[in-house]
Amino acid sequence: MIESLNYLPHPTLPNEELAGHFTDLAPPLNARQAAIESARCLYCYDAPCSRICPSEIDVASFIRNIHDKNINGAAAGILKQNILGGSCARVCPTEILCEDVCVRNHDAEGQPVKIGLLQRYAVDHMHFAQHPFRRAAATGKTIAIVGAGPAGLSCAHRLAMLGHDVVVFEKEGKAGGLNEYGIAKYKLTDDFAQKEIDFLLQIGGIEIRCRQVLGENLQLRDLHAQYDAVFLGLGLGASRKLGLTGEDAPGLLAAVDYISALRQADDLAALPVPKRAIVIGAGNTAIDMAVQIQRLGAEEVTLVYRRGFDAMTATHHEQEIAKANQVRMLTWAQPQQVLLDAGGKVAGMRFEKTSMQGTRLAGTGETFDVAADAIFKAIGQSLDTEVLHDPMASLLRREDDKIAVDALFRTVLPGIYAGGDCVAPGQDLTVQAVQHGKLAALAIHADLLSKVEAA
């Protein structure tokens, strides 16, 4: 945890100045900009941007509503498909989804419509007198949801719309999951994750209980017995290990732990910040970590990946953000040894250069050292095995280190469903987790109705 870095110095800048380094990555559109940008949309029939959207938002329709100055109509269309449309507008990799397939990429301008910013504009400027969705007649059924991240919250809202009561059990002190604890601070600013949850809860019929941990003070068997259905939106809580000696030394920790502490910090100037940092990884979390530690005042940040830039899971857009923030990026190098000082603290890392030998990545035998006061690993996450200490949860079938589900998000245990990052299908995207929760809710609803009809 971040306490292992407490021996490091604090930023030299005051909190107020540091906070200025974590304002919106992409400034929002104003009304004139939104009008101009929405006019660029061709409102394509069978629009490719809508077809590729993981949450099935009718992109052309909401943009037309913005153009017609029907902001509430645009927002309602977005939220009907994606109740977390505000956060997804900020964090979704639109550059490889809707904007990548926009037909405007291929005309004289060669620039896609700014769909993500238009979606944000619609949700940020909606003004409903009351929650835009009403609950159906009460069904008398109550569903338990484990995990108040994007999948769990999306599932809860859809179930509430369908007339069910929902109790959400969350292990942390606040709901929000990845949006609250795992996204770069400059991507979700101004406590937006909590504001979005407050809006979502206006539907009614949803109760959130925090500090409830599956396998500790919460048992799946009890939930299964007490509720009409259970949805598991557990996320991926365990950081993968490097498998090197010294991995537990002070100064080496998971990037997600530092990002969480950063997002929850009231005083950024109180955070421990190394002068030299190494980030190991190739995804968006690695980029988020490297950029944020640089913005906090680290003098030298080096991101290292064992393959080439083209193999990185971080998008080209994210890679450019890192470069713009003076992050040094080294490829074709894999961790070989954690270097420690005389006191047993991190002093750097030894890397072995790599290359492709046919279709196999292999070390070349040539090594080099990078000095560092702290190392942050961002090499992926897996399902927290502590969760599976719960006797009933241990019966869940696993697939690729995740929970196996069918096409309707049913697990092998009757009445228990799962979705989001903890299940086998998917790309670990917030927008896809929202879609999983929504579709699982529809499946739960249909299954409960079929039981009533059968009775």
The predicted-structure confidence for 305-350, as pLDDT tens digits, reads as follows: 999 999 999 999 999 999 999 999 999 999 999 999 999 999 999 9
d(CA 69, CA 46): 23
pLDDT of 172 strictly over 80: yes
Q: What CA–CA distance (Å, rounded) separates 25 from 94? A: 14
Structure tokens at 151: 């999948």
**What band does 374 get if pLDDT is binned at 50, 70 and 90?**
very high
Q: Are 89 and 116 in contact (CB under 8 A)?
A: yes
SS (H, E, C) 37-90: HHHCCCCCCCCHHHHHCCCCCCHHHHHHHHHCCCHHHHHHHHHHHCCCHHHHHH
Q: Across all residues in the chain, what is the average pLDDT?
A: 94
Mean pLDDT of 256-262: 96
Can you give the C-alpha Rg of the chain in angstroms? 23
- State the pLDDT at residue 153: 98
Average pLDDT on 411-418 reads: 97
Q: Which pLDDT score, from 0 to 100, does residue 388 have? A: 67
d(CA 375, CA 241): 13
The pTM (predicted TM-score) of the whole model is 0.95
Instruction: Give the model's pLDDT for residue 132.
Output: 96
* Helices and strands per DSSP (H, E), number in the chain: 15, 17
Q: Evaluate if residue 166 carries a pLDDT over 70.
A: yes
Tokens coding 211:
């500090």
The sign one gets for the Cα dihedral 234, 235, 237, 243 is: positive
What contacts 251, CB < 8 A, 6 or more positions away? 4, 5, 8, 274, 345, 346, 372, 373, 374, 375
The percentage of the chain sitting over the pLDDT mark of 90, rounded to a whole number, equals 87
DSSP 281: E
With contact defined as beta carbons under 8 Å apart, do 307 and 332 qualify?
yes
pLDDT band at 45 (very low <50, low <70, confident <90, very high): confident
Question: Does the pLDDT value for residue 239 go beyond 90?
Answer: no
The confidence band for 384, taking pLDDT boundaries of 50, 70 and 90, is: confident
Average pLDDT of the residues in 48-61: 96
pLDDT for the residue numbered 349: 98
Among 275, 266, 219, CA closest to 387: 219
